[in-house]
């Protein structure tokens, strides 16, 4: 199976703080083809970068800058990567304003979690790509 995956889950140091998030046992995905993407960097943001959170349809940094366009551009690139490579499933980083699924931070930068999806997850799901996070994926539910 071809699987789109958040690059930071694969060891890429592309997070806003310049770190990765090696919280997934990649050996569980042996035999699958992984296609890593980082929508925030692909959309034009730097490493490191100011943390950002979703505020309704907008993505705003903790410095008050609107980076919605970069997030949307990155989401389009992730979708294109998925479609070009036949990925019907994605495993993305939980709670990210790009990659989060089901839960995201509320825009107050107080670590308050609310229901919602990241911008990339929203676009992938609208295009019938099934999204899991590193917390809820299980190789038995990917198919």
| 133 contributes a contact to ligand SF4 by CB under 6 A | no
Least distance between ligand SF4 and beta carbon 30 (Å): 21
| 39 contributes a contact to ligand SF4 by CB under 6 A | yes
Spatial separation of the C-alpha atoms in residues 28 and 13, rounded to whole Å: 21
In this structure, the chain runs to a length of: 143
Nearer to ligand SF4 by Cβ, of 38 and 131: the residue is 38
Query: In this structure, what token pair is assigned to residue 91?
Result: 């495993």
Least distance between ligand SF4 and beta carbon 98 (Å): 4
Q: Where are the alpha helices (DSSP H) in 15-135?
A: 39-42, 68-84, 119-126
Of residues 102 through 131, those in contact with ligand SF4 by CB under 6 A are none
79 CB burial (10 A radius; 0-12, 13-18, 19+): buried
Please select the residue that binds ligand SF4; options are 3, 24, 29, 38, rule is CB under 6 A: 38
Nearer to ligand SF4 by Cβ, of 57 and 140: the residue is 57
Nearer to ligand SF4 by Cβ, of 14 and 87: the residue is 14
Give the CA distances from residue 36 to residues 12, 39, 57, in Å, rounded to whole numbers and listed in that order. Answer: 9, 10, 25
Please select the residue that binds ligand SF4; options are 4, 15, 82, 121, rule is CB under 6 A: 15
* 8 Å CB contact between 79 and 124: yes
Footprint on this chain of ligand SF4 (rule: CB under 6 A): 6-8, 14-15, 38-40, 93, 96, 98-99
């Amino acid at each position: 199976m071809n699987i789109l995956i958040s690059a930071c889950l694969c060891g890429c140091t592309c997070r806003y703080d310049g770190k990765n998030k090696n919280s997934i046992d990649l050996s569980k995905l042996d035999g699958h083809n992984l296609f890593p993407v980082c929508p925030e960097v692909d959309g034009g943001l730097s490493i490191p970068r100011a943390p950002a959170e979703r505020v309704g349809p907008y993505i705003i940094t903790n410095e008050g800058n609107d980076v919605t366009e970069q997030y949307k551009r990155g989401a389009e690139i992730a979708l294109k990567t998925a479609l070009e490579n036949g990925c019907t499933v994605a495993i993305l980083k939980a709670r990210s304003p790009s990659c989060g699924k089901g839960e995201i931070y509320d825009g107050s930068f107080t670590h308050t979690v609310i229901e919602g999806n990241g911008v990339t997850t929203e676009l992938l799901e609208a295009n019938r790509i099934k999204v899991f996070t590193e917390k809820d994926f299980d190789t038995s539910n990917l198919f």
